[in-house]
Amino acid sequence: MNEEALSTFYQPIVELSTGETMGHEALNRPPASTLFHSADIFYEFAAKTEYTSRLDRYCRKMSLTRYVGSAAVAGFGGSALLFINVSPGVLNDERYKSGETVSLLKHLGLTPSRVVLELTERQAVHDYVGFEKTLAHYRKQGFRIAVDDAGSGYNSLKTLVYLKPEFIKLDKSLIRGINGNIEQQHLLGLIREYALASGTRVIAEGIETEAELKYLQQAAIDYGQGYLVGRPESSPAAGRIPVVV
């Protein structure tokens, strides 16, 4: 597939207590295909090929370039964050650590402090001590780290303890129907307690109903993301918190 065929969308991340948009997650999507029925299937396939590093670097470049190229970005001020998805295996790639991203940011007029590297679970982390040193390299440059899909997949809790992310993004499977599921509520509470103790901010993904939103607000979750508060758009747009009674 031609890389130029990938489309980039930006989904707002909103502070649940104020309704203010704190940033956006960049989502790169392939065109419709009979081979890949969803973006997740496409990226799972790509992760098993020799092109995964090349694709990851291209998506990173497009996410940043198209973000800066949007006139709407100016409306969010100089503190809005951009979350870009990165697989742990690519972060360990020597080509990734060559300063390529920092050079691109400088060219685009962005600082690393406005970019959050969102670690996906497409590839497992096996050497946590070594990977922790890799993340220290990026933090030293000013990047922040987010762990995606917390509460699902493999090694999630171990990942939080060892990698000490600035942001924990809760998987949508934990958020779906949380207002009526006591087990999900207990797990959310444990993660929230850990986040408070470690100085980490929590982002709930996949918010789709007002009942879910109301529960998350009552649970004092920091930020939210999902169709209820803002759909992915080709140009960064502000999210919204509907009035929940």
Q: How many domains does the chain have?
A: 1
Query: Is the pTM for the entire model greater than 0.85?
Result: yes
Note whether residue 236 is domain-resident. no
pLDDT over 90 (residue 31): no
Note whether residue 24 is domain-resident. yes
Read off the pLDDT of each residue in 138-159 and give the average, rounded to a whole number: 82
**Cβ-contact 192, 217 below 8 angstroms:** no
Indicate the pLDDT class of residue 58, thresholds 50, 70 and 90. Answer: confident
Read off the pLDDT of each residue in 215-243 and give the average, rounded to a whole number: 94
Please tell me the predicted confidence (pLDDT) of residue 42.
Answer: 61
Note whether residue 48 is domain-resident. yes
Note whether residue 242 is domain-resident. no
Note whether residue 238 is domain-resident. no
Domain boundaries, position 66:
3-224
What string of DSSP letters covers 150-185? ETSSSSHHHHHHHH--SEEEE-HHHHTTGGG-HHHH
CATH of the domain at 99: 3.20.20.450
Question: What are 184-219's pLDDT values in tens digits?
Answer: 999 999 999 999 999 999 999 999 999 999 999 999
Note whether residue 55 is domain-resident. yes
Note whether residue 81 is domain-resident. yes
Note whether residue 49 is domain-resident. yes
